[in-house]
Amino acid sequence: MGITYASDLPPAAELLVIGGGVVGAATAFHAAGAGLSPVVVERRDSPASLTTAAAAGGFRLQLETEEAYRLVRGSVELFASFAEATGQDEHGPDLRPQGYLWLTTEERMAAEQRRLAEAQRTWGLDDVEVLEEDEVRRRFPFVAPEAVQARFRAADGLLDPVGLALGLLAGSGAPVVTGCEVTGFLFSGGRVVGVRTSRGEVASDAVVIAAGPLSGPLAARAGMDLPVFTVRRQRVVVPDVPEVPPEAPMTIDEDTGAHWRPAAGGASLMFADPGEPPGPPSDPVPVDEGFARRLLDPRSPVSVARVAPFWGPVGERLLAGGGRGWSVRAGQYTMTPDHRPLIGRTGVEGLFVNTGYSGRGVMLGPSASRLLVDELLGKAEGATNPFRPDRSFAEPEGGVL
């Protein structure tokens, strides 16, 4: 069963989902599973081709809060039975449980690793290992001697975000209309009753904004000030680097946040730069070629060579090649003040949002989108929804890797 692409925009829909990335796809999938008939509209020529395509491609249960852990656990359960759950095997997440390895060179962070691993055990996650320095290097010979400790979970790993999103769309059976940009909303008596698009108007009983970085501007067209902002996140792809162990885990320098994982016969290198300022939503997202040098230059304070020394000579070789050995790709995180998503009904009747995953849409969205459908169907009260868009925002917990 493939994706149902519709050549024409239908005149009406029971549920209209704006956005064909992983969160919009998950919304349609769970809505269809609950008996609703969704239609998905995507402004680009193909779904899952903007933010989802730029995602890091990892999944993990080593999380900083129990709330996030339980949501991602639900997503991982879906990933594990994906073909059966979606009724198709043409598209899927291609799970590769190669592990997540968090390394530190600082005793302060080592203590925090032990504290977090103990908290995770109280949540039911009992397979996180805290590895002392000799054991780290015995298991992972590429690790620097400066690393004093690591936390590791072998069942965490890598996935294909685009395959995941396409599989959810296929499993939903929802008509997907591409090249269809939403330009406004239709109102009747103060209620949203449909949308206006570049391909015409469509009436709908309910509308969900699940458009990632474009969610804020879309909500503004309905008169809403959505509490989101966008931040560019970049990654460097360095293919065909034989020094990269192909079975290596996602490897994170927990002291700096720089991380890498095997990809394309080489690796993807990433770093959520805390100095990156918010900016307007962009399509395409501009890249900074200097970003690659920060991660590859062994003299850089955020170099991946800091905890994996083989990257030192590799980086020098690549830099000497003048940039011919890598490419920089960029997407945007849709951030909220507390780094938790916005899920549920808005102050505009008939309009819902599912956005603001702050860099964790691939991991959280497939599970958390069930919450939105429950609210759509009246199975959950908005007042008890911890992700309701009108909540008070506390300080953010945890990171955005």
In three-state secondary structure terms, 305 is helix
Query: How far is Cα 272 from Cα 359, in angstroms, rounded to an integer?
Result: 10
What residues have CB less than 8 Å from 93, skipping those under 6 apart? 79, 82, 159, 160, 161, 163, 164, 167
- Give per-residue pLDDT as tens, 351-371: 999 999 999 999 999 999 999
pLDDT band of residue 323 (cuts 50, 70, 90) is confident
Q: Which residues pair with 333 in a beta bridge?
A: 231
Look at residue 384 in the predicted model and tell me its pLDDT.
Answer: 74
Handedness of CA 19, 170, 161, 340 (dihedral sign): positive
Inform me whether the pLDDT recorded for 316 exceeds 60. yes
Look at residue 399 in the predicted model and tell me its pLDDT.
Answer: 54
Q: What does residue 213 show for φ and ψ, rounded to 5 degrees?
A: -65, -15
Look at residue 398 in the predicted model and tell me its pLDDT.
Answer: 57
Look at residue 357 in the predicted model and tell me its pLDDT.
Answer: 97
- Give per-residue pLDDT as tens, 285-313: 999 989 999 999 999 999 999 999 999 99
Least confident of 4-8, 266-270, 380-384, 386-390: 380-384
Q: What angle do CA 368, 279, 355 make, to 5 degrees?
A: 15
Q: What is the pTM of this model?
A: 0.95
What is the separation of C-alpha 101 from the centre of its chain, rounded to a whole number of angstroms?
19
- Give per-residue pLDDT as tens, 87-145: 999 999 999 999 999 999 999 999 999 999 999 999 999 999 999 999 999 999 999 99
Q: Count of CB atoms within 10 A of residue 392's CB?
A: 6
Closest CA to 343 of 331, 317, 330, 361: 361
Give me the chain's average pLDDT, please.
Answer: 95
pLDDT band of residue 1 (cuts 50, 70, 90) is confident
CATH topology (fold) of 4-90+161-227+336-384: FAD/NAD(P)-binding domain (3.50.50)
Look at residue 395 in the predicted model and tell me its pLDDT.
Answer: 64
Look at residue 344 in the predicted model and tell me its pLDDT.
Answer: 95
User: H/E element holding 157?
Assistant: strand 157-158
Query: How far is Cα 355 from Cα 336, in angstroms, rounded to an integer?
Result: 9
Average pLDDT over every residue of 169-185: 98
pLDDT band of residue 383 (cuts 50, 70, 90) is low
Residue 100 near residue 166 (C-beta atoms within 8 A): no
Cα-based distances in Å from 63 to 2, 101, 233, 358, 397? 33, 13, 20, 14, 10
Query: How far is Cα 27 from Cα 20, in angstroms, rounded to an integer?
Result: 10
Contacts 24+ apart (CB under 8 A), 67-70: 67/340, 67/386, 68/360, 68/364, 68/398, 69/120, 69/123, 69/125, 70/123
Cα-based distances in Å from 71 to 5, 106, 237, 270, 330? 30, 30, 29, 24, 26
Residue 100 near residue 60 (C-beta atoms within 8 A): yes
Inform me whether the pLDDT recorded for 397 exceeds 70. no
Residue 333 near residue 401 (C-beta atoms within 8 A): no
Residue 177 near residue 41 (C-beta atoms within 8 A): yes
Query: How far is Cα 153 from Cα 128, in angstroms, rounded to an integer?
Result: 5
Provide, rounded to the nearest whole percent, the portion of the chain with pLDDT above 90.
93
Look at residue 393 in the predicted model and tell me its pLDDT.
Answer: 85
pLDDT band of residue 379 (cuts 50, 70, 90) is confident
Query: How far is Cα 303 from Cα 318, in angstroms, rounded to an integer?
Result: 13
Provide, rounded to the nearest whole percent, the portion of the chain with pLDDT above 70.
98
Query: How far is Cα 155 from Cα 145, in angstroms, rounded to an integer?
Result: 25
Query: How far is Cα 207 from Cα 376, in angstroms, rounded to an integer?
Result: 10
Look at residue 135 in the predicted model and tell me its pLDDT.
Answer: 97
Structure tokens at 2: 């493939």
What residues have CB less than 8 Å from 111, skipping those under 6 apart? none
Average pLDDT over every residue of 53-75: 95
